[in-house]
Amino acid sequence: MAPFSLGSTCTLSQAETIQAALSEHLLDHAGEGLLVDASAVEEADISLVQILVSAGRTAASRHLAMTLEPSPTVSALLARAGLGDWAASLRA
């Protein structure tokens, strides 16, 4: 499982770049599970939530596991979005 690492800032202004890089990562590592390393994220907004949910759905549609290593910022953001349980289910 090749990790996809996020930088310290994951806000709307980076969303398109993050989404494109993640899509490319999924293509480059087709057939592998998805490990999203968000442990370095210090600033994030709802656009990151949308990207993570989309990645989870894409992985599931390909019958692949997705694992998330969230930072405290990402964990808090997902909890505020009502996805704390979902995020907890993705932790290794």
Claim: this prediction has a pTM higher than 0.85: yes
Alpha carbon distance 68, 35 (integer Å): 6
pLDDT, tens only, 44-90: 999 999 999 999 999 999 899 999 999 999 999 999 999 999 999 99
Domain that holds residue 69: 3-89
Q: Residue 54 belongs to a domain with what CATH number?
A: 3.30.750.24
pLDDT, tens only, 13-34: 999 999 999 999 998 988 889 9
Of residues 88, 91, 69, 68, the one with CA closest to residue 79: 88
Alpha carbon distance 36, 90 (integer Å): 10
Number of folded domains that form the chain: 1
To 10 degrees, the CA torsion angle through 85, 39, 50, 65?
Answer: -60
